[in-house]
């Protein structure tokens, strides 16, 4: 962690609501980091039904806690972003963890040496049975067609967010992260791909549970950004096909995803 007055290299934002165990995993993941660069941890709690401040005190966490009602996940993420002081921002919500104790050190080295506007890498997805599935990051150049990696494995230069007034659009309850990423990339000049896993997240998030709604929102986002309805329709149909393949033939689905990852 960094002092209250110094500018940290990284701001970690965590959104939580009634998820004591998940928040504990996230906090302990940060506490386990070795040789970490200067960073701050900001926790935005939507007024949980347990003593969040007491949990943080018991864990010995120096995180800054903001508590208040919000309009949902992305509204809370906007709040958290507004509280940051770091040069870079990463979003690790309740239950998300860094992939290992060396991740912040590796991020710090690359951010310092490369000075990117945007840094991204691979992810691990924890399945309900405890198995971890490797989720390779595709090229950021494929962003028009897909969310090329998971939001937890993206690091944004904060100055671009603040200088452009970039916020998560609450009109997209599920796809606001995709819309945010597209708009950020329009402003980013230097983009770096980290060759490794950054974050570990749990399966079963709202974008997976409500994937039908998410696809429709992404369709609207693509049409808005690129003005090409035909392209948006083609991507939508491919997503529908992929979702059904994942449901009925998961082994084939993951094999094809792995092949695609090597191609892009």
Provide the 8-state DSSP code for 98: E
- Mean pLDDT over all residues of the chain? 89
Residues whose CB is less than 8 angstroms from the CB of residue 207 and which lie 6 or more positions away in sequence, other chains included: 174, 175, 214
CATH of the domain at 39: 3.90.550.10
What pLDDT score does 237 carry? Answer: 63
Secondary structure class of 48 (helix, strand, coil): coil
CB atoms within 10 A of CB 69: 8
Q: What total of structural domains would you count in the chain?
A: 1
pLDDT in tens, 173-185: 999 999 999 999 9
Q: Tokens 């970690």 correspond to what residue? A: 12
Task: Indicate whether 237 belongs to any domain.
Answer: no
Helix (H) or strand (E) holding 191: strand 191-202
Task: Indicate whether 145 belongs to any domain.
Answer: yes
Q: Tokens 């609207």 correspond to what residue? A: 220
What pLDDT score does 250 carry? Answer: 74
- Above 70 in pLDDT, residue 5? no
Percent of the chain with pLDDT over 90: 71
Average pLDDT over residues 59-73: 97
Residue 214 falls in which region: left (phi positive, over 0), alpha (psi -120 to 50) or beta: alpha
pLDDT in tens, 23-48: 999 999 999 999 999 999 999 999 99
| 96 against 212, higher pLDDT | 96
Task: Indicate whether 239 belongs to any domain.
Answer: no
Average pLDDT over residues 10-33: 98
In the structure encoding, which two tokens stand for residue 60, read together? Answer: 């010995």
Q: Tokens 């990423």 correspond to what residue? A: 181
Task: Indicate whether 224 belongs to any domain.
Answer: no
- Above 50 in pLDDT, residue 69? yes
- Burial of 198 (C-beta count, 10 Å sphere; 0-12/13-18/19+): buried
Query: Which of the four pLDDT bands, split at 50, 70 and 90, describes residue 262?
Result: low
- Above 50 in pLDDT, residue 209? no
Query: Which of the four pLDDT bands, split at 50, 70 and 90, describes residue 263?
Result: very low
| 210 against 21, higher pLDDT | 21
Cβ atoms of 16 and 23 within 8 Å: the answer is: yes
Task: Indicate whether 49 belongs to any domain.
Answer: yes
Rounded-to-integer distance, Cα 26 and Cα 126, Å: 14
Task: Indicate whether 236 belongs to any domain.
Answer: no
Q: Are strands 39-45 and 64-67 parallel, antiparallel or unpaired?
A: parallel
Provide the 8-state DSSP code for 197: E
| 187 against 235, higher pLDDT | 187
Angle at alpha carbon of residue 170, lines to 164 and 21, rounded to 5°: 105
Cβ atoms of 30 and 101 within 8 Å: the answer is: no
Task: Indicate whether 220 belongs to any domain.
Answer: no
- Burial of 189 (C-beta count, 10 Å sphere; 0-12/13-18/19+): exposed
Query: Which of the four pLDDT bands, split at 50, 70 and 90, describes residue 223?
Result: confident
Task: Indicate whether 25 belongs to any domain.
Answer: yes
Query: Which of the four pLDDT bands, split at 50, 70 and 90, describes residue 130?
Result: confident
What pLDDT score does 238 carry? Answer: 64
What pLDDT score does 244 carry? Answer: 58
Q: Which domain holds residue 59?
A: 10-205
């Amino acid at each position: 962690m960094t002092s209250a007055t110094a500018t940290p290299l990284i701001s970690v934002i965590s959104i939580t609501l009634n998820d004591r165990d998940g928040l504990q995993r996230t906090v302990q993941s940060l506490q386990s980091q070795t040789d970490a660069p200067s960073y701050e941890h900001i926790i935005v709690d939507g007024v949980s039904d347990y003593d969040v401040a007491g949990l943080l005190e018991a864990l010995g966490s120096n995180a800054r806690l903001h508590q208040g009602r919000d309009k949902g996940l992305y509204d809370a993420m906007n709040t958290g972003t507004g509280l940051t002081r770091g040069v870079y921002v990463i979003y690790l919500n309740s239950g998300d963890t860094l992939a290992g104790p060396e991740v912040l050190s590796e991020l710090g080295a690359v951010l310092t040496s490369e000075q990117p506007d945007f840094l991204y890498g691979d992810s691990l997805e924890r399945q309900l049975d405890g198995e971890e599935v490797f989720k390779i990051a595709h090229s950021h150049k494929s962003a028009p067609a897909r969310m090329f990696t998971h939001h937890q494995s993206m690091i944004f230069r904060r100055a671009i967010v603040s200088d452009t007034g970039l916020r998560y659009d609450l009109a997209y309850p599920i796809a606001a992260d995709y819309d945010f990423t597209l708009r950020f990339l329009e402003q980013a000049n230097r983009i770096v791909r980290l060759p490794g896993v950054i974050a570990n997240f749990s399966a079963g998030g709202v974008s997976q549970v409500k994937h039908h709604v998410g696809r429709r929102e992404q369709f609207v986002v693509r049409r808005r950004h690129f003005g090409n309805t035909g392209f948006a329709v083609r991507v939508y149909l491919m997503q529908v096909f992929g979702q059904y393949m994942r449901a009925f033939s998961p082994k084939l689905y993951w094999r094809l995803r792995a092949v695609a990852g090597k191609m892009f």
